[in-house]
Chains A and B, each alone.
Chain A
Amino acid sequence: MTLISVSMLIFVFTEMVPGDAAEVILGQQSTPENLENLRKKLGLDRPLVIRYVHWALGWPRDEGSLYGSTDGGERWGNLLTDTAEKISETYFLTPRQGWAVSAGRIYVTKDAGRRWNRQFRASDRLSSIAFADEEVGLAVAANGTIYRTDNGGVPIVDPKSQGETDIFTWLEVESGTNASLTDVDFADRSRAWISGEGGTVLRSEDAGETWQSATTNTDVTLSAISFAPDGVSGVVVGDAGTVLMSSDGGKTWRSVYDGEGALRDVEFAGAATVWAVGDAGTALHSRDGGANWTSMDVGAPEGTNLLDVAFDDNSGAITGEGGFVATTGDGGTTWTLRQVMIKAEDGTDLPSQEPFRNVSVRVTEDGRVSMWAVAIGKTWDWGLVGGDFSQSIRGNSVNDLIGNALPASLILAGLAFVVSVPTSLVAGVLVGLKPDTMVDRVLSQGSIFVISFPDFVTGILLMLILASWLELLPASSVALPGQSVWDRPETLVLPTLTVTAALFAYVMRMARANVIEVMNSPFVRTAILKGIPMRRVVIRHVLPNALLPTITVIMNNASWMFGGLAIIETVFAYPGIGRLLLSAINSRDVPLIQGTALIIASVTVFSNLIADLTYGVLDPRIRLA
């Protein structure tokens, strides 16, 4: 209950931080228009309540699962990809090497799709990717952005940053349009074409560096584009059965076919053979480079929407909704219906009913046909409830960042707690039982000094004495990436000592004062006068009553202590959660701020709960409530 309110509060507050994520990402180059675009993409234009639900509960999302076949489509296996985002489209250059796009990322594989490595994170929703050779590639996004690479997309490590940041070689190029782009195709290394909504066709003759718009005389959404290997004749297809053809390398386009349902994909299977597929089982076929089209029956059940077609030489595949996959080995004369089997929950194999959005076909040198198909299913993307803190604006998983920092902080706080609370309670109780002795004076006056020193002053003093002058301990607790604080336990000593000092003094004062107070109370006096042994009086009468308020005070200050760790962590460069929160605030990384703040708040709420439970153990009157 409290936690829910806190999560709301944190959300509303952090969303109010001036300068939203869009401004941060764009930095100095922000103009009102591209700010607006990016906000829309990041979902920042939606109302606060919806964003909160999204953050806390989750959101439905298309999820792609990748299936592969190496025997021309007879048997398919699920290629279990552990990518952060599920792949939505693949492009294979060779039977082994391929690239794939997910919602905002580009992945690369070198082993036919078994392992995918993240290559790039775009700030846009990517829709398609294609490569001319191993070096030149293009990816297009749903907001009109084109990304281009000329080294296969391999990130280069920035030499100046000591291996921390990569310079990505996917660079944005000027597209001249805001229209959503749907497909990209190469004829050779220099010539490439892109289709998009609103009748957009872009062409480039310099390997995708500059783009010209072509006239299409239509404004329907064009969903796919394909060119013959000669780069002269090309076909685009789109909504309302539109098929356009160009015979001059994409400069001018003319309508060659007028169908009914939307067409989803088109592909040149050779110099002049073209295939196009679309809604309601439409499969079209042209043998003269796209001028004349005939309908083909590929065996799709009545009304099945076909979504994608792919060819390599004579081998091809057509996929569609309802788990439809058909393959051919003879250039499309005969089609064989295939079934992709998936494991059901009870362990049996069931034919997949998911829509297969994308398919790729490549023939190996020894004649085997490899195929990859992406099935898109709806899944629920769990938010906070499912333990997902979403992503930081830099694209790292907040879970990972917190997962690294939280244990470090918990170790620090836990160590300090374990060391200081028992000792300080014992010390406090002992001096409290015998006030105004020499030991008591030293301890209680000394503790005033210790609690009066700011954490960072204590820390710096300890550092100066123990690290700089005596050179006993390392001054900073910097951990290399991937290293846990346990790897160098000596770095833990100074921060722990600093936290312990303050905590010890604080708790000891509390315990002492409470013990003195309880010792002077009538019921203790009665107990002593009744002749109960002193040991029993202390354990049964004094301690429970004296520790009760002490524990409340300790726990009430837990949130200040845990938040206060940020300062100590800064002093010692300790890789904990306080420092993570600080750096998140400095870089205005709202998702990261929300995640860390919520974790810190949960620790607080949790420690309050523990305090309440301890209370119940110590005081039977409370146990009932």
Chain B
Amino acid sequence: MATAEAGQEVARGGNPALRAAVGKVRSAVGLVMKTNTGRVGGIIVAIHVFLALFGPWVVPYDPIAFDPQDLESRFSAPSTEHLFGTDKFGRDVFSRVLAGARSVVWIAVGGTTLGIFLGLLVGMTSAYMGGRWDMWIMRGVDVWLAFPGLLLLLLILDLSRKTLQVDESLVIILTLGIGMMPINSRVIRSAALAVKPLEFVQNARLRGESFLYIIFREILPNIVPVVVVEGTLRVGFALLAVSGLGFLGLGVQPPTPDWGQMISEARNNMRGAPWAALAPAFAISSLVVGVNLLTDGIRQSLNLPVNR
């Protein structure tokens, strides 16, 4: 895997702490690769990540530009020339699927990272503070959870699009992160609660360590497995959410290719040209299948139960 190879190079550099960390990651990757699901999932995800990184340089055709005069090339069926056929503007579907990979992966991973980070903050704080604080924070999380997810997504999207003049994929990442926070913080809280009464946490408190030190240096390393599983699981959810937003026309705006949006566009011509919808549908589904299989593999290698 890419991380492991990169790690090897760094490891040769000689920093012992780093070497230990890299060793841990390598053994973890090795463990995951021992499971069937982990292996299959890992390979699928690796292919997708590769295409997301290098796809834009290998696309056979321009994914955005099209010739409005050229009616001939519209809706041509899959062939050797156009692997997945062409869409209603005569653009090559294969090129568009490749070009769309990057934004989907980047947004889903970015959104999940943000969501996990916020979840860590809220969940660990709530667990560590305990008592009344815990109750109020969790009550707030309940309210946040009862808030309709779709509405939340749309409102944050709408608000931040108008008020923050930033790149739209950043806005979607922000939205996903905030929307994901409550569920993540619940899971992380329950994991942190199990760690909190342990001796080393009490020791750190008696040493007079700061609050942030305790939650990030004492509690966090001991709930890493939960966080990793939660993270990969949520990447799957985030991918579904991103493509759903695209499908509803609320994600990345055209003409930038986006899988959900491509499916939505091609939906009306399903009978005559199903490939224009099926190709991006295959792309998103295979990626989520890969992520979910990988999640399963990680779980199995860590001996964690499925229900999180």
Chain A residues within an 8 Å CB radius of B277: 460
Q: Mark B274-308, 1 if CB is under 8 A from A, else 0.
A: 10010001001100110111001000000001110
Q: Cβ of A585 and Cβ of B154 under 8 Å apart?
A: yes
Nearest A-chain residue to B285, judged by Cβ: A453
Q: Mark B107-127, 1 if CB is under 8 A from A, else 0.
A: 000000000000000000000
Nearest B-chain residue to A463, judged by Cβ: B270
Contact of B285 among A18, A454, A593 (CB under 8 A): A454
Say yes or no for B271: interface residue by CB 8 A criterion. Answer: yes
Query: What's the tally of chain A residues with a CB closer than 8 Å to chain B?
Result: 55
Chain B residues within an 8 Å CB radius of A457: 243, 263, 281, 284-285
Q: Cβ of A452 and Cβ of B236 under 8 Å apart?
A: yes
When A460-B270, A556-B183 are in contact, do A563 and B248 touch as well, CB less than 8 Å? no
Q: How far is the CA of A461 from the CA of B243 in the complex (A)?
A: 16
Q: Cβ of B158 and Cβ of A9 under 8 Å apart?
A: no
Contact of B289 among A452, A463, A517, A582 (CB under 8 A): A452
Say yes or no for B162: interface residue by CB 8 A criterion. Answer: yes
Say yes or no for B151: interface residue by CB 8 A criterion. Answer: yes
Chain B residues within an 8 Å CB radius of A553: 307
Q: How far is the CA of A593 from the CA of B285 in the complex (A)?
A: 31
Q: Cβ of A567 and Cβ of B147 under 8 Å apart?
A: no
Q: How far is the CA of A510 from the CA of B306 in the complex (A)?
A: 7
| Interface window among B15-23, B72-80, B138-146, B216-224 | B138-146
Say yes or no for A379: interface residue by CB 8 A criterion. Answer: no
Q: How far is the CA of A605 from the CA of B244 in the complex (A)?
A: 24
Say yes or no for B212: interface residue by CB 8 A criterion. Answer: no
Say yes or no for B240: interface residue by CB 8 A criterion. Answer: yes
Question: Least Cβ distance of B282 to chain A in Å?
Answer: 9
Nearest A-chain residue to B289, judged by Cβ: A452
Q: Cβ of B281 and Cβ of A6 under 8 Å apart?
A: no
Say yes or no for B106: interface residue by CB 8 A criterion. Answer: no
| Interface window among A27-35, A492-500, A596-604 | A596-604
Say yes or no for B64: interface residue by CB 8 A criterion. Answer: no
Nearest B-chain residue to A448, judged by Cβ: B292
Q: Which B residues, 232 to 269, have Cβ-Cβ distances below 8 Å to chain A?
A: 236, 240, 243-244, 247-248, 260, 263-264, 267
Q: How far is the CA of A605 from the CA of B142 in the complex (A)?
A: 9
Chain B residues within an 8 Å CB radius of A17: 155, 158-159
Question: Least Cβ distance of B217 to chain A in Å?
Answer: 31
Say yes or no for A173: interface residue by CB 8 A criterion. Answer: no
Contact of A468 among B150, B236, B270, B284 (CB under 8 A): B270
Q: Cβ of A453 and Cβ of B288 under 8 Å apart?
A: yes
Nearest A-chain residue to B183, judged by Cβ: A556
Question: Least Cβ distance of A21 to chain B in Å?
Answer: 15
Say yes or no for A102: interface residue by CB 8 A criterion. Answer: no
Chain A residues within an 8 Å CB radius of B263: 456-457, 460
For A457, A514, A604, which residue has the most chain B Cβ atoms within 10 angstroms?
A457
Give chain B's interface residues, CB within 8 Å of chain A. 37, 139, 142-143, 145-151, 154-155, 158-159, 162-163, 183, 236, 240, 243-244, 247-248, 260, 263-264, 267, 270-271, 274, 277, 281, 284-285, 288-289, 291-293, 296, 305-307
Q: List 14 A-B pairs, Cβ < 8 Å.
A: A2-B146, A454-B281, A457-B284, A513-B306, A514-B305, A514-B306, A549-B307, A559-B147, A559-B149, A563-B149, A585-B151, A585-B158, A601-B148, A604-B148
